[in-house]
Amino acid sequence: MRASLRTPSPWKGAPAIPGGLWTKLVISYAGIVMVCLALAGSAFVYLLQPYQTQQALNRLSELAIPLGVQVRILEAQGATPSQIAGFLQEQAQQLGVRIFLVTQDGQTIVHDTSGGLAGRPIHLDRTERLGPVPILHGGVEAPGEGTLALVSFVPPTNVALPGVARPPFAPPPRLMAALAAPHVNLATGWLQIAPQLETAALVSLLASIGVALLIARSISRPLTAITRASEGMARGDYDQRIPVRGHDELARLASAFNTMAHQVAQSNRSLRDFLADVSHELRTPLTTVQGFSQAILDGTAANPQAVAEAARVISEDATRMHRMVEDLLHLSQIQSGQLAMDTRVVDLAELAEDAVKRARQRADANSLRFELSAQALYVTADPHRIGQVLDNLLSNAINHTPLGGEITVSAGSSLGQGRVRVHNPGSFIAPEDRERIFQRFARGGDGAGTGLGLPIAQEIARCHGGRIDLESSRTEGTAFTLVLPQLPRAPERS
């Protein structure tokens, strides 16, 4: 008795194999999430930069308005440029910004709260509005610092300033304040939220890895189960089944594998049974051939009559084995689709009549009677192969009909199908044997074998899109019915 090599089902938990599908799925999902996070972060920063730049400029503009007013007030009150510069120096320290004191006419830097740019020309040539207030924008080149963005506010001359009594024909203002900031610093506001972005990225990565683990597990576990079951089948254990869960592609794959495993197991059993049946069928004639040939060789069959009898038996058994081998090859050709069919439109009733004529010649010794009733019906078939099927059915009927019995053959149509029914009253096939009766070398409950005739007949019928039905009862006997697709109308005759 062969020990089972079946392994436990991996559905209950399969460890991750380094470099295996499970690991690759997790890494791929995590990699996809990382790429998506990087792309989303880059897009976020790219879209955020203009907004951050504008926000920084708006902040400078808001600071420039009161500073511009203060410079106008100080200048109107008679403050000197150095005094105004000192005031701006204090404001720069308090506000954390860089302030220039510049001339309005030549736009030249008079004082730089960070030092180093006094006397350099500036460009305030663009006006933008912060609400209703006009703000001057421009820039200046700073050695070692690049381009500095400038923002300034110049109060209109016709606007009265609080606390300043402006005399008639007073000279126009000559100084104004400009706030400066490097361009690279204007778009770095997103750095303030970088820690929050890193935290969100880390949480998203961990969550994605968790989801990837679940998805990878749901994919890899059934594949691992199929792999282990396949390995078990390769070792000769065909009793492999995989649980089918769900209705997705993996469930369909598991169902297909189970079907395949069942077919392979059935084919393996059929092959073993076939080899056993062939061995059993060949053993008796081979033993007979060997015994009679040995009798001839050792002189036991000395007289001519004994030799002739031994030769006759050897010839009959050799013919029987030859016929069996030919039937096996013929059945193999049919099942593999290699048997050529010469199909044409034929009258099934005529084929039945011809088969009955041939059967009468074989049944004369048994004094059997044949009753034939046939009506013309046309099918597309190979007449030689269908005749072979009918000959086989009639031969079975002859073999199982007692002396003087009657075999009934009827040909007709029903529900668009052509039918030839062969009935004999002398046999009964038990219900449990009716499925096996069309198998090779099948044996009934009485131990009698059917050989290869019925399997060949059934395969030929299937090649024509038909079948052979079986009816059997103890009182009525047994009937085999050949069923073929019938043509909708009779062919035209020339």
In the prediction, which pLDDT does 410 show? 92
Highest mean pLDDT pick, 22-26, 300-304, 414-418: 414-418
In-domain check, residue 231: yes
pLDDT at 437 over 50: yes
Cβ atoms of 407 and 401 closer than 8 Å: yes
Domain span holding position 360: 344-485
pLDDT, tens only, 372-403: 998 888 999 989 889 889 988 998 888 888 88
Contact 444, 394 (CB under 8 A): no
Whether residues 352 and 281 share a domain: the answer is: no
In a domain, 206, yes or no: yes
Strand residue runs (E) in 107-206:
109-112, 123-130, 133-142, 146-152, 175-182
* Phi, psi for residue 353 in degrees, rounded to 5: -60, -45
Residue 446 confidence class, pLDDT cut points 50, 70, 90: very low
Q: Is residue 164 part of a domain?
A: no
- Residue 122 pLDDT greater than 90, yes or no: no
Same domain, 368 and 477: yes
Identify the DSSP state of 191: G
* 307 and 366 inside one domain: no
Element holding 473 (H helix, E strand):
strand 467-473
Which one of 318, 339, 360 terminates a domain?
339
Pair (198, 139) in one structural domain = yes
C-alpha span between 179 and 149 (Å, rounded) = 8
Q: Is residue 2 part of a domain?
A: no
Paired residues of 414 in beta bridges: 417
254 and 391 housed in the same domain = no
Contacts 24+ apart (CB under 8 A), 163-166: 163/73, 164/73, 164/76, 164/77, 166/76
- If asked whether residues 285 and 432 sit together in one domain, one would say no
- Residue 438 sits in a domain whose CATH number is 3.30.565.10
Give the ranges where 77-164 is alpha helix by DSSP (H). 81-95
Which residues on adjacent β-strands are paired with residue 147? 141
CB 270 within 8 A of CB 256: no
The closest alpha carbon to 145, from 181, 112, 113, 118, belongs to 181
> pLDDT tens digit string along 426-435?
788 887 777 7
Q: Which of 237, 262, 280 is the last residue of a domain?
A: 237
Question: What does 393-446 look like in DSSP terms, one character per residue?
Answer: HHHHHHHTS-TT-EEEEEEEEETTEEEEEEEESS----GGGTTGGGSTT-B-TT
Q: Is residue 199 located within the same domain as residue 130? A: yes
130 and 151 Cβ atoms separated by less than 8 Å: no
Residue 1: pLDDT above 60?
A: no
My answer on whether 232 and 290 are in the same domain is no
Query: In this structure, are 312 and 284 located in the same domain?
Result: yes
In a domain, residue 1? The reply is no
pTM: 0.46
pLDDT above 70: residue 100 = yes
Into how many domains does the chain fold? 3
Q: Could you tell me the strand order of the sheet in which 406-414 lies?
A: 369-374, 406-414, 417-424, 477-485, 467-473
The predicted-structure confidence for 150-187, as pLDDT tens digits, reads as follows: 888 888 765 555 555 555 445 567 888 888 887 655 55
**Residues 227 and 325 reside in one and the same domain:** no
Look up residue 494 and give its two tokens: 């020339």
pLDDT, tens digit, 9 for 90 and up, residues 189-226 = 555 666 777 787 788 778 877 877 777 777 777 777 88
Do both 367 and 384 map to the same domain? Answer: yes
Please check whether residues 103 and 225 belong to one and the same domain: yes
The CATH number that applies at residue 287 is: 1.10.287.130
Strands (E), 54-132: 98-103, 109-112, 123-130
| Residue 9 pLDDT class (50, 70, 90 cuts) | very low
